[in-house]
Amino acid sequence: MDFSDLAKMKEMMGQARQMQEQMERKLTETIVEASTGGGMVTVRMNGKKEVLRLKIEPTAVGSEGSDLELLEDLIVAAINEAGRRADETIKTSVAGMMGGLNLPGLS
């Protein structure tokens, strides 16, 4: 291996690092939202699957908080749906960033 090969390898590593940084930024900046129960529960999540906001309409609790189990199910469903949407959005975004490269696990 000569010095030109090492220089090429170093350049490739730098490009890989830049792509990783771009991806991290993209994950943080990507925001998705999902609602369940006709809008009773809404979850906002970023591409890192961090829940940014959970909104529960007062009508979801009821006057006596009678159906807490239903509310819990709605929250779980909204979080799971937001996670699926984040996955879809990031997958599409990554495919665009990779310029059509056929890499395992991204197709």
pLDDT, tens digit (0-9, with 9 covering 90-100), for 22-33 = 888 888 899 999
pLDDT, tens digit (0-9, with 9 covering 90-100), for 50-76 = 999 999 998 887 766 568 888 899 999
Domain boundaries defined on the chain: 3-97
Fold exhibited by the domain 3-97:
Ybab; Chain: A; (3.30.1310)
User: What number of other Cβ atoms are within 10 A of residue 74's Cβ?
Assistant: 22
- Token duo for residue 5: 């090969």
pTM reported for the whole predicted model: 0.70
Q: How far apart are CA 107 and CA 86, in angstroms?
A: 16
